[in-house]
């Protein structure tokens, strides 16, 4: 059995989505890659064991396995598919998006080092960087996303990572990834991007010179709200310490999740194109509605990231945020009147989901504290599913008019 190198190297996104990483021929001449439900692997004799160990000591082996914490054929197929989609030399699948971030930071940041991260970001990531890295004597500076003067002046001799999301959460701010990569290269610092919101269909940060990307594969890559997983992708040499450390930390991803990811990724291009189109239609509808105060969507010319997104991205994505005219009560009334989207904290799957950040992701903060971190009571985040945009708009219209 071999992975499909031709597709991996030359395929366009949807061809990669379906075929990259698959083995040919497959056991039993099945069409679909099997789920290898095993914790360990066997060697035919000691010569076989020694040959494997020697190869393993020289570098990563992805077609022969030793023990489940160090690799699995179904997981390797899923990793190869994501690597092909992101134009990465290699990818590592882990237990969740947070595992992808925390493992990357823990393996790349020695004690006494420092990280610079941009501000509008997933709350748990910022919590880990600001509150938990301290325990390892690792400092951090948070700068506004897009403020390159602040980014440059935050860099210290001990800075090892520049980190950002793009588009960011919840305001969909857009990072100029080319400029970010240039700063990292000029200053000799690793650049890391959480590319969960962009997906390889809309943006491939590695093509712009970024060193490492992470994904919450729980979102668009899985795409069906039925799994939790994360990916780390980049050059083999750069990711070697991360791969080695994960073998010790142990937060790996199982073959059943890999199977669901292989299946989910097959329709990535179709889903993202639909979500891009719906995002634009819904954003334009909301922006013109008298009951809506403001809309944040990079496809709108009024969004501060529009020009960079139009230049660097192939689509503006399937998440938008907006404020309703009024306060918490009016916003709750609007949310409760909606018929199609579920009220739920995730994003990126086939079902549309709606989040009220102030009372869900920031429920431990008072209204005043929420405002201080830029989360007003009338803010709503809308993650579009793959429903027809006409139905979503009709639903939004009736809820806004109640």
Residues of this chain that bind ligand PLP (CB under 6 A) = 96-98, 122, 165, 169, 194, 196-197, 216, 218, 228, 230
Nearest 5°: the CA angle 172, 178, 184 is 105
What is the dihedral sign for C-alpha 252, 360, 115, 134? negative
Q: Toward ligand PLP, which CB reaches closer, 65 or 322? A: 322
What does the alpha-carbon distance between residue 365 and residue 371 come to, in Å, rounded to a whole number?
Answer: 9
Count the neighbouring beta carbons within 10 Å of the beta carbon of residue 6: 9
First to last CA, the chain: 59
Q: Toward ligand PLP, which CB reaches closer, 73 or 167? A: 167
Q: Toward ligand PLP, which CB reaches closer, 14 or 359? A: 359
Residue 128 CB, nearest approach to ligand PLP (Å): 10
Residues 224/257, Cβ–Cβ less than 8 Å = no
Residue 19 CB, nearest approach to ligand PLP (Å): 26
Residue 96 CB, nearest approach to ligand PLP (Å): 3
Q: Is the peptide bond before 279 cis (omega within 30 degrees of 0)?
A: no
Residue 268 CB, nearest approach to ligand PLP (Å): 16
Residue 44 CB, nearest approach to ligand PLP (Å): 38
Q: Toward ligand PLP, which CB reaches closer, 122 or 382? A: 122
Q: Toward ligand PLP, which CB reaches closer, 289 or 303? A: 303
Residue 185 CB, nearest approach to ligand PLP (Å): 24
What does the alpha-carbon distance between residue 179 and residue 104 come to, in Å, rounded to a whole number?
Answer: 22
At 91, phi and psi to the nearest 5? Answer: -140, 150
Looking at the DSSP assignment, which residues form a beta bridge with residue 295? 322
Q: Toward ligand PLP, which CB reaches closer, 86 or 165? A: 165
Q: Is the peptide bond before 170 cis (omega within 30 degrees of 0)?
A: yes
Residues 358/367, Cβ–Cβ less than 8 Å = yes
Residue 348 CB, nearest approach to ligand PLP (Å): 8
What does the alpha-carbon distance between residue 378 and residue 291 come to, in Å, rounded to a whole number?
Answer: 11
Q: Toward ligand PLP, which CB reaches closer, 33 or 165? A: 165
Q: Which of 214, 229, 314, 315 is nearest to 264 (CA)?
A: 229
Q: Toward ligand PLP, which CB reaches closer, 73 or 255? A: 255
Q: Toward ligand PLP, which CB reaches closer, 127 or 398? A: 127
Residue 95 CB, nearest approach to ligand PLP (Å): 8
Q: Toward ligand PLP, which CB reaches closer, 98 or 392? A: 98
Residue 105 CB, nearest approach to ligand PLP (Å): 12
Tell me which residue has its CB nearest to ligand PLP. Answer: 97
What does the alpha-carbon distance between residue 286 and residue 305 come to, in Å, rounded to a whole number?
Answer: 18
What does the alpha-carbon distance between residue 164 and residue 213 come to, in Å, rounded to a whole number?
Answer: 10
Give the orientation angle of helix 73-86 with respect to helix 255-266, to 10 degrees.
Answer: 40
Place of tokens 């989207």: 341
Residue 346 CB, nearest approach to ligand PLP (Å): 6
What does the alpha-carbon distance between residue 165 and residue 118 come to, in Å, rounded to a whole number?
Answer: 8
Residues 6+ apart with CB under 8 A from 57: none
């Amino acid at each position: 059995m071999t992975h499909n190198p031709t597709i991996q190297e030359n395929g366009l996104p949807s061809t990669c989505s379906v075929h990259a990483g698959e083995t040919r021929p497959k056991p039993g001449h099945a069409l679909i890659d099997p789920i290898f439900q095993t914790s360990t692997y066997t060697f035919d004799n000691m010569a076989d064991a020694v040959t494997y160990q020697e190869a393993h000591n020289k570098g990563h082996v992805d077609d022969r396995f030793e023990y489940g914490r160090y690799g699995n054929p179904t997981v390797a197929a899923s990793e190869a598919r994501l690597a092909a989609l992101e134009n990465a030399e290699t990818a590592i699948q882990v237990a969740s998006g947070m595992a992808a971030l925390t493992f990357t930071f823990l393996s790349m940041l020695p004690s006494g080092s420092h990280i610079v991260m941009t501000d509008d970001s997933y709350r748990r990531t910022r919590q880990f960087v600001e509150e938990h890295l301290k325990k390892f004597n690792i400092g951090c500076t948070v700068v506004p996303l897009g403020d390159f003067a602040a980014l440059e002046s935050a860099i210290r001799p001990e800075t090892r990572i520049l980190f950002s999301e793009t588009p960011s959460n919840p305001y969909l701010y857009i990072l100029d990834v080319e400029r970010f990569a240039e700063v990292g290269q000029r200053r000799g610092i690793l650049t890391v991007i959480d590319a969960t919101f962009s997906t390889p269909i809309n943006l491939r940060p590695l093509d712009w010179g970024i060193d490492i990307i992470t994904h919450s594969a729980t979102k668009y890559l899985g795409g069906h709200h039925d799994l939790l997983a994360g990916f780390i992708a980049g050059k083999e040499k750069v990711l070697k310490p991360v791969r080695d450390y994960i073998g010790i930390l142990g937060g790996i991803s199982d073959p059943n999740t890999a199977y669901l990811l292989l299946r989910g990724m097959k329709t990535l291009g179709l889903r993202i194109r639909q979500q891009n189109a719906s995002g634009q239609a819904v954003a334009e509808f909301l922006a013109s509605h008298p009951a809506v105060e403001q809309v944040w969507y990079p496809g709108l010319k009024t969004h501060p990231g529009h020009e960079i997104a139009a230049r660097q991205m192939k689509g503006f994505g399937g998440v938008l945020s907006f404020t309703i005219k009024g306060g918490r009560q009016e916003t709750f009334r609007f949310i409760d009147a909606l018929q199609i989207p579920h009220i739920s904290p995730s994003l990126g799957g086939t079902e549309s989901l709606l989040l009220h950040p102030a009372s869900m992701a920031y429920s431990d903060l008072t209204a005043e504290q929420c405002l201080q971190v830029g989360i007003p009571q009338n803010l709503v985040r809308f993650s579009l599913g793959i429903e027809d945009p006409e139905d979503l708009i009709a639903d939004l219209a009736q809820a806004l008019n109640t």
